[in-house]
Chain A
Amino acid sequence: MWCLAPRRSRRSVRVALLIGALGACSAGSALGQIHATPSPRAANHPVPERNQAWADTSDTAAVRPTDAPDPSTIGQAGAREQSRGQSQPGPDNPVDPQDRIVPSLARRQQSLYDRLSATWNDRQVPAAFSHGMTTAHARNSGVAHVAMEAHNVDFYLGDGVGYHVRSLKAALVPNTPGEPIDFDDPDQYRIHVLSGEVLVRPRDLDALFNRYVLTYEPRALSSVENHTRRDTLEVTVGARLFKFIPPVGGLPTTLSGPIKVGKNNWLVYTPTSVTQFGMPIKPLLDAVGLSLASVTPLDRPGVKLEGDQLLMNPETLFPPPRLMIDRISKASLDEDGLTLVFASDTSDAGFIDPPHEADSYIWLQSGDARFFSTLLVNAHLQLLSDSDDPLQFHLYHYRAQSAAGTIRTDADGTLVVRVPNDFEIDDRSPQQQAGLSRRKPDDDGG
């Protein structure tokens, strides 16, 4: 109708409509006055501004009905919906505070946030860890343990000390209940092994003894070198009789024998042959009533000589984090090293596959874990090698290793960390950085 009318006629119509519109609004709603004056709250809190903001926040928190659901509580979308359209914390609203229209942008944003947070907060907890779950909050998933799965990973603690994980399902358990797992502090948590298989290679044993166990003075044993073959561990070691003969180095001594699982899951190494300079000395020791422990005493956390047996406690033999082992169902030796098979009465059911298919990975699927200064709440993190080689993870230097890699985020909040196996260990004394060069576009970890 508008478009068909002649120009002069359209103008007449517009005037008529305008007058009509004016008439139509004669019963227009009364609008509130603009309070263009400093709000009483602002007047009462002139400085400091930060405290004013706090006062605003606190006041608002105080007026929330005590029986209203806590909006910070995860999984209570209804509570959030309930609070929508009500005045938000912050400065006073002098302009039409009675208006209750919530534009669709804000509603849709909140609706999307509810859906996303439902995903991020969905606790996929293995059955064994679901006991004792508490209410989740933004800072706490309410799950006490972190579920960790590893597959085909060289798991190093520090200084090359570690082992190869063929497969492992475990819980990371904080020593102080309620705390998240802090990957910076290996004394802060334990690894409760539920199931899996670990290979301790000869070079792993070398590193363990030379760089961790035998680093005190005076000591009876040093310069350990291990070789394995079927059912036999052969150890070449420098022995100082009674810890001081000879004063430098040690008498080259070779021991060989099997390893069995003993009481309380201790590993018992029983040398059937002990030689020095190629000469068997065990018969001589037996003849004079001496044992290996008496001539080369060793009693350290996680390892000790008793009689002619070397006893090793896998829970405390390695550097922290300490292991919690319910049962070693099998310990076997072959050319690759010492294989330990773990079992537990605690079920390992409920672990889910990591989101990115890989043969070598570490996967955290629930609980709260802290890396750097980032707390992963209801953690979903997959750690991968950035090459085709199996992952070599260095726990004590995860900072440097992660910094050499890249982190990507999946829509469900999973962090996918791809790291190099070789990297510069530059995290001994981390310093704040500034003015770094941009990462090259083709160096983004794919």
Chain B
Amino acid sequence: MAVNKRFVWSGLVLVVLLAAALVGMRMAQSVHDAPPPLAAAKHRQLDALNELRAAHDEYARAFNARDTDRTLRDSGRRPVGLFIQNTFFRIVGDIGFQTEKLSALLVPTDPPRPVTLDDPTSFVFHPLHGSVVMPGSALTALFNQYLTDYPDTQLRNLSVSTKTNTLIVKGETSKIPGLWLPFTMTGGVRLVDGHLFVYEPDRIEVARIQAKGLLEAINLGLSKLVQIDTQGAQLEGNAVVLDLNHSLPPPTQDVRIAHMSIDGAGVHLDFASAFNPPFPDPIVKTDSYVMPQGGDLKTFRALVTDVRMQLIAGDGGRLDTSLYNYRAQILAGFFDTTPAGELVAYLGPYTPVAYLPSTQPGQNDAS
């Protein structure tokens, strides 16, 4: 009887212990229903990307602030910041600038249509701060391949050279169709309003004859002899006036030149504005680059929002690039990217556009 009782009690104790063990095991189970690690990691990455965007805002707040909310199609920042260092930056052909260091904004002409690199009429080039040199070769190209490149032009075969404080322009002029007279003008350039170049030759030779005195004697200005029919360029009396904002191939410029000087290297221009933003750190260590940073930039099919892109020479040398034919350099090069989405474009060598006019426009008009 006692044995049976002990057996029953032992059984009960075992059952209780077993039940306690089960309860203990149940209680010991950890409980969590957090997202799987791969999903959680993805969410953390998205948070980090938002912090990156906030860094963009912080950098550009002073000179290129966001105006609208950010979406997947729009950074909300209209202009594109542009930073150029130690680059020959061509608009097209030889029309370009030796650029030591220059910051600028590309301001879209028809927002929210973005700045479109392939369409230079889609933006206005607005330098903020920096220095460039326009060599005589660039001025030569500007006159021959742009300003006087139209039927019935009265100027051709122009060449521009520079020496200290002096611009020398040679070429041919024609007031009577088919009759081209060589001319040479020598003189200084005056800067007006921060964007108007007033070239006032103190010596004019036409057909190797001193013409300035003759013109003055009969009270006739050079402008009565010759016209330039493109916007932004004009002859006024004996002065040639160029508006830098409108005399270059698109894009339209919106410049304020604080200082201009001329020497053998060309026309030196120092730009100024209310802003002198610090250059962003380049993605790749090099001293020659073009770097759009901030804002939305369309190139080919791609719209790069809050762009941070560095264009560098693929061969490791000094960058020589052209707005009108950058595509050829892109096609000959490649892009590298970083996990943050920064783009580095290793550009192929510069090549001129196929449609560049002859350096001697109007030559077919010669008799």
A, B assembled together: yes
Select B340's contact among A83, A112, A433, beta carbons within 8 Å.
Answer: A433
Question: Which of the segments B4-12, B42-50, B131-139 contacts the partner chain?
Answer: B42-50
For A435, the chain B residues whose CB sits under 8 A away are 281-282, 284-285
Closest chain B residue to A52, Cβ basis: B254
Closest chain A residue to B197, Cβ basis: A95
Given A105-B149, A138-B113, A179-B72: A373 and B307 interface contact (C-beta under 8 Å): yes
* Complex CA–CA separation, A411 to B308 (angstroms): 23
Given A72-B110, A113-B118, A432-B342: A409 and B283 interface contact (C-beta under 8 Å): no
B225 is an interface residue with CB less than 8 A from chain A: yes
Question: Which of the segments B157-165, B240-248, B260-268 contacts the partner chain?
Answer: B240-248
Interface of A is mostly: loop
Question: Quick check: B324 and A36 within 8 Å, CB to CB?
Answer: no
Question: Quick check: B249 and A109 within 8 Å, CB to CB?
Answer: yes
For B241, the chain A residues whose CB sits under 8 A away are 34, 95
Question: Quick check: B176 and A24 within 8 Å, CB to CB?
Answer: yes
Question: Quick check: A57 and B124 within 8 Å, CB to CB?
Answer: yes
Question: Quick check: B284 and A18 within 8 Å, CB to CB?
Answer: no
A286 is an interface residue with CB less than 8 A from chain B: no
B17 is an interface residue with CB less than 8 A from chain A: no
From A49, A54, A186, A245, name the one whose CB has the most chain B CB atoms within 10 angstroms. Answer: A49
* Complex CA–CA separation, A117 to B122 (angstroms): 13
B119 is an interface residue with CB less than 8 A from chain A: yes
Question: Quick check: A49 and B274 within 8 Å, CB to CB?
Answer: yes
Question: Quick check: A211 and B245 within 8 Å, CB to CB?
Answer: no
B57 is an interface residue with CB less than 8 A from chain A: no
For A113, the chain B residues whose CB sits under 8 A away are 118-119
Question: Which of the segments A154-162, A249-257, A289-297, A304-312 contacts the partner chain?
Answer: A154-162
Question: Quick check: B39 and A319 within 8 Å, CB to CB?
Answer: yes
For B334, the chain A residues whose CB sits under 8 A away are 406-408, 444-445
For B284, the chain A residues whose CB sits under 8 A away are 435-439
- Least Cβ distance of A377 to chain B in Å? 6
For A137, the chain B residues whose CB sits under 8 A away are 113
Question: Quick check: A49 and B196 within 8 Å, CB to CB?
Answer: no
For B34, the chain A residues whose CB sits under 8 A away are 216
* Complex CA–CA separation, A409 to B311 (angstroms): 14
Question: Quick check: A217 and B110 within 8 Å, CB to CB?
Answer: no
Given A49-B126, A212-B38: A21 and B32 interface contact (C-beta under 8 Å): no
* Complex CA–CA separation, A95 to B248 (angstroms): 13
* Complex CA–CA separation, A445 to B353 (angstroms): 27
| Interface 1/0 per residue, B247-258 and A, CB below 8 Å | 101101110100
* Complex CA–CA separation, A59 to B244 (angstroms): 21
| Interface 1/0 per residue, B219-230 and A, CB below 8 Å | 010011101111
Select A247's contact among B25, B232, B234, B338, beta carbons within 8 Å.
Answer: B25
Given A36-B192, A109-B324: A430 and B337 interface contact (C-beta under 8 Å): no
A234 is an interface residue with CB less than 8 A from chain B: no
Q: How many residues of A contact B (CB 8 A)?
A: 128
Q: How many residues of B contact A (CB 8 A)?
A: 142
Question: Quick check: A105 and B356 within 8 Å, CB to CB?
Answer: yes
A5 is an interface residue with CB less than 8 A from chain B: no
Question: Quick check: A157 and B38 within 8 Å, CB to CB?
Answer: yes
Give residues of chain B (142-160) contacting chain A, Cβ–Cβ below 8 Å. 145-147, 149-150
| Interface 1/0 per residue, A21-52 and B, CB below 8 Å | 11011101101111011100000000111100
Question: Quick check: B211 and A18 within 8 Å, CB to CB?
Answer: yes
For A399, the chain B residues whose CB sits under 8 A away are 339-341
* Complex CA–CA separation, A49 to B37 (angstroms): 49
B278 is an interface residue with CB less than 8 A from chain A: no
Select B243's contact among A49, A94, A375, beta carbons within 8 Å.
Answer: A94
For B235, the chain A residues whose CB sits under 8 A away are 31
Question: Quick check: A319 and B283 within 8 Å, CB to CB?
Answer: no
Given A11-B208, A138-B113: A432 and B232 interface contact (C-beta under 8 Å): no
For A139, the chain B residues whose CB sits under 8 A away are 73-74, 112-114, 296, 303
A400 is an interface residue with CB less than 8 A from chain B: yes
From B236, B242, B341, name the one whose CB has the most chain A CB atoms within 10 angstroms. Answer: B341
For B363, the chain A residues whose CB sits under 8 A away are none
B116 is an interface residue with CB less than 8 A from chain A: yes
Question: Which of the segments A221-229, A330-338, A342-350, A421-429 contacts the partner chain?
Answer: A421-429
Not counting A372-B341, A439-B284, a sample of 14 additional A-B residue pairs whose C-beta atoms are within 8 angstroms of each other reads A18-B214, A21-B175, A61-B110, A88-B250, A90-B254, A95-B233, A106-B250, A217-B31, A370-B72, A373-B304, A377-B303, A432-B281, A438-B285, A439-B344
Residues of A within 8 A of B (CB): 11, 14-15, 17-18, 20-22, 24-26, 28-29, 31-34, 36-38, 47-50, 53-54, 56-57, 60-61, 71-72, 83, 87-91, 93-97, 99-106, 108-110, 112-113, 116-117, 120, 137-140, 157-159, 161, 179-180, 182, 184-186, 211-213, 215-218, 243-247, 319-320, 368, 370, 372-380, 396, 399-400, 402-403, 406-411, 413, 415, 426-439, 441, 444-445
User: What are some 29 contacts across the A-B interface (CB < 8 A)?
Assistant: A17-B179, A21-B206, A22-B218, A28-B224, A31-B234, A36-B193, A53-B126, A57-B124, A96-B230, A99-B229, A101-B230, A103-B150, A105-B249, A106-B249, A110-B121, A116-B118, A180-B73, A216-B34, A217-B32, A374-B343, A375-B73, A375-B304, A402-B337, A430-B45, A430-B339, A432-B338, A433-B283, A433-B340, A438-B284
